[in-house]
Structure 1
Amino acid sequence: MTASISGERATLADPTRRLVEASREIAPVLRRTADAAERDSRLTPEAERALREAGLFRLGVPKRWGGEELAPADSLEVSAEVALACPSSAWVVMVSYVAQQIAASFGEQARQDLWGDGPDVPMCGVFGSVGVTAAPVEGGLLVSGSWAWASGSHQADWALLGVPLPGEPGAATERGLALVPASALTIDKTWDMAGMRGTGSDTLIADKVFVPYHRLRRFADVVQGQGLPEEPLYRIPPGSMTVVSMGPLLGMARAVLQLTMEAVEGGKPMAMSLHARLADSPSVQAALAEAATLIDSAYLHLRRSAEFIGTAAASGTTPTLLERARVRMDAGHASTCLRQAVQALLTVSGAGSFSLTKTIQRHWRDLETASRHPTLNPGLAKEMYGRALVGDDRPVSPMV
């Protein structure tokens, strides 16, 4: 008799347990609408409504404004659970959480703008500012430009966007971030990818949109991670928050493991062999062991880093360059582990897994696409961590 496995998990307490359970309750909706999301390159209104009603668009909102103010390790658990049903939904939830975490550091007036009418405010964000212009006017800037790859753009009520910040005459322009209401932006449908199709990562366009100064911040200040002592979540710099981007990928790999185990436990034979069942094959047994362990290894590395950045922020400790680089390395290593695990599982499942009627191939396409996100680049992570290990503090990326 084969054993059903669910993988390595932490013991969860409220509110995380409540949010994970809410994610499980809406899973049938997310699964049912996943094909439509893939076809339309955006989440369906039904899926968006389910995510909102489950409270998954308030994860990064301060408690004082009615949100969950969820710690990074807990966010990891929630987005991984959502991804079991729909990776695109999980990615949109994760992006909103990260954008909210940064937006909360803009100050009380900006918080009032965002959450004065309630905490269920999905967000999207793009840090890049190539080709964006910002003209000074009384009280703020007039911003024009476009921002591609805006995951969750169709659900977002607000966007966190990269903008140039003009200095004094003769001074260099600085890189900045702006909070812009989605109602002031238009969407150009440019997202047509092999994977993560349902994220609706289209292009946002602004044409002379006014942004007041209280909704602008220097990027250099944001990456330092500054916030109130009583709100440690908002003290974590965005470079370290990249570890929570792995939550959806973790869920994708777990879903592939579950689907593969269902085939194995269901008595599927091994094609072109004398094994009446996949479960009887030593090579299949070895592949399952390898894949399950790789997924657990990814989770343990991610959980370690997510707990570390949360604990450091709560204690007021500033992580060293080596510690921050290790966080990036944990994310990059986890990405590699999950891709290797899914490759092994697909070999067990066989060529039939690649039928477009099978859910497993969508998880594979989604994982292969999402794991190429620049913040999850394992090669860059190795460069960061390797330099830090030998005491070389030359910057490789501002996101460390």
Structure 2
Amino acid sequence: MHTPSHHGLAPAASRATEDLIRAVRAISPLLRAEADAAERDSRLTAETARALREAGLFRLGVPQSFGGLQLPLAAVLDVSAEIALACPSSAWVAMVTYVSQQIAASFPEGARFDLWGAGPDTAMCGVFGGVDAASEPVEGGLLVSGRWGWASGCHQADWALLGVPLARPGAAPERGLALVRAADLTVENTWDMAGMRGTGSDTLVAESVFVPEYRLRPFADVIAGRETAEEPLYRIPPGSMTLASMGPLLGAARAVFRLTMEAVDGGKPMAMSLHPRLADSPSVQAALADAATLIDSAALHLTRSAEAVDAAAAAPGTAPLVDRARVRMDGGHASRCLREAVQLLLTVNGAGSFARGRLIQRYWHDLETAARHPTLNAGLAREMYGRALVGDARPVSPMV
């Protein structure tokens, strides 16, 4: 199996990644033990959230100037994949916090101080689009109201990054983002899914919440990336940051492979055959080889793109459209590879894999649910990359 390699990272980032992976492995027994309760309650338990926070997993995207880890994208893929070996929902919540922090750090210094002035261990959630989102200009900022669904990690979040309309004199409102204290919001329980249940992706509700001007940014500025941030991480546009979503899926697929190999190595018989063990069957051997290669292929594509994104952020100028589109393509291709791999592995395990009490089916549910996230739409990624390859600059999504 492919194991995480940190050779492409700067020495400091490599050491931080290795330290974090050791910390994740130390709390993994607790994450696994709490996963049933998270599944039942459709949110992470308080014990899980505390363990993630104490392990430093809510400071991955926080600027180093505020005591955070400011990890590059390639490192976060490795860390979130490791978390997902124990609990994909926990990995998803940590990933969402990282991506939200990456965007929040591009806000003015006053916003950064509000978020991290008292310490770096600040969990976040983020939703770009809201239902009936409205804003009213008042002195010094906006009064924001609306409902924002699919807010993964909202039960652990200290802050939320929310899509809001920004008023413009003499023109229609433009799309914007607001940083809002979670304490100023309420949570409506709307999350009842077959997979990724523990993410607690419920609906946030705001009623005339004041947001100061310095905690508001036009969405177009965020999409453009770069802007004025000094640190390379905070110049990466959201389209390229969608790659972070793949870490939990990679870890979930690796977990299914491990569970399958435990059954194979344990001498599980092959039903209705003359093979005494699964390991003796050429068809099983071929399926394992294909699944392992598909998972490795996904990891290699993700690593290539993540390292390219990190390098482009540190370089002057903006990465060419074809390079940015390839990042989206690599994410979509990796998602498809992981889903195909898990299908092969479930077949090796047999119908018993789908028993409610079997751990393997939870990883399958989680991966299949997460793979349908809009940022991982493989068909849309193919459109983006195909257009870019033939020099067609017409946009099919702002997230490229």
TM superposition score normalised by structure 1:
0.97
1:11 aligns with 2:6: yes
Residue equivalent to 1:291:
291
Question: For structure 1, which segment, 388-397 or 311-320, has the greater mean C-alpha deviation from structure 2 after superposition?
Answer: 311-320
Q: 1:376 to 1:260 in 2, by over 3 A?
A: same
> 2:59 and 2:18 mapped to 1: Cα distance?
15
Gapped runs of 5+ residues in structure 2? 8-13
Q: Any idea what SS the aligned residue of 1:59 has?
A: coil
Deviation (angstroms), 1:11: 3.4
Query: 1: distance between equivalents of 2:232 and 2:58?
Result: 20
Q: Which amino acid aligns with 1:134?
A: S
Deviation, 1:228, is 4.9
How far 1:230 moved relative to its partner? Answer: 4.2
**CA contact 2:88–2:363 (8 Å) conserved in 1:** yes
Q: CA deviation at 1:7?
A: 2.1
2:175 partner SS = strand
The whole-number CA distance in structure 2 between the counterparts of 1:151 and 1:316 is 34
In the other structure, the counterpart of 2:254 is 254
Q: Spell out the pairing of 1:100-139 with structure 2 (5 A cutoff).
A: 100-139=101-140
Q: Distance in 2 between matches of 1:335 and 1:247?
A: 10
Q: Which residue of 2 aligns with 1:337?
A: 337
1:249 is paired with a residue whose SS is helix
TM-aligned CA deviation for residue 286 of structure 1: 0.3
Q: Letter of the aligned partner of 1:313 in structure 2?
A: A
2:315 aligned residue: 315
Q: For 1:302 and 1:240, how far apart are their aligned partners in 2?
A: 11
Higher alpha-carbon deviation: 33-42 or 316-325: 316-325
SS at match of 1:289: helix
Q: Which amino acid aligns with 2:5?
A: A
Higher mean displacement: 140-149 or 219-228:
219-228
Q: Give 3-state SS (helix, strand or coil) of 2:177's partner.
A: strand
Q: CA RMSD in A?
A: 0.9
Q: Deviations over 1:106-158 (max 9, x none)?
A: 01100100001000000000000341000000000000000000000000000
Aligned equivalent of 1:375: 375
Task: Say whether the 8 Å CA contact 1:143–1:209 is kept in structure 2.
Answer: yes
Secondary structure of the residue aligned to 2:132 is: coil
CA contact (8 A) 1:41 1:197 kept: yes
Q: Measure, in 2, the Cα distance between the counterparts of 1:377 and 1:230.
A: 31
Give the CA deviation at 1:316.
2.4
Residues 225-262 of structure 1 deviation map (CA, whole Å, 9 limit, x = unaligned)? 12556410001001000011100000000000000000
- Kindly report structure 1 stretches of 4+ aligned residues shifted beyond 3 Å: 227-230
1:88 counterpart = 2:89: yes
Q: For 2:165, what is the secondary structure of its paired residue?
A: strand
Is the contact between residue 229 and residue 316 of structure 1 (CA under 8 Å) also seen in structure 2? no
Aligned position for 2:11? none
The residue type equivalent to 2:6 in the other structure is T
Counterpart code for 1:11: H
Query: Which residue in 2 is equivalent to 1:50?
Result: 51
Deviation string, structure 1 residues 80-125 (Cα, Å, up to 9, x no partner): 0000000000000000000000000001100100001000000000
Matched residue, 1:164: 165
| Partner deviation per Cα, 1:168-209 (whole Å, 9 max, x = no partner) | 0x3011000000000000000000000000000000000000
8 A Cα contact 1:129 1:164, kept in partner: no
The alpha carbon displacement at 1:9 in A equals 2.7
Alignment check: 8 A CA contact 2:221 2:227 kept = no
2:10 alignment counterpart:
none
| Alignment partner of 1:29 is 2:24 | no
What TM-score does the superposition give when structure 2 sets the normalisation length? 0.97
Q: Could you tell me which residue of structure 1 aligns to residue 147 of structure 2? A: 146
Deviation at 1:314, TM superposition (A): 1.1
Letter aligned with residue 24 of structure 2: S
Question: Hey, what does 1:3 align to over in structure 2?
Answer: none
For 2:208, the equivalent position in structure 1 comes to 208
SS of aligned partner of 2:15: coil
Which range is displaced more, 7-16 or 55-64? Answer: 7-16
Residues in 2 aligned to 1:150 and 1:176: alpha-carbon distance in whole angstroms:
17
Whether the aligned pair in 1 keeps the contact of 2:63 and 2:70 (CA below 8 Å) is yes
Structure 1 stretches lacking a partner, 5+ long: 1-5
CA distance in 2 between partners of 1:47 and 1:31 (Å): 9
Three-state SS of the structure 2 residue aligned to 1:132 is strand
Over 3 Å counting, the alpha-carbon distance change for 1:381 and 1:263 in structure 2 is same
Q: In structure 1, what is the Cα distance between the partners aligned to 2:131 and 2:50?
A: 33
Structure 2 CA distance for partners of 1:132 and 1:307, relative to 1, 3 Å: same
SS at match of 1:254: helix
For residues 187-198 of structure 1, the aligned pairs below 5 Å read 187-198=187-198
Number of equivalenced pairs: 394
Partner Cα separation in structure 1 for residue 376 and residue 382 of structure 2: 11
Matched residue, 1:242: 242
CA distance in 2, matches of 1:226, 1:323: 16
Deviation at 1:8, TM superposition (A): 4.0
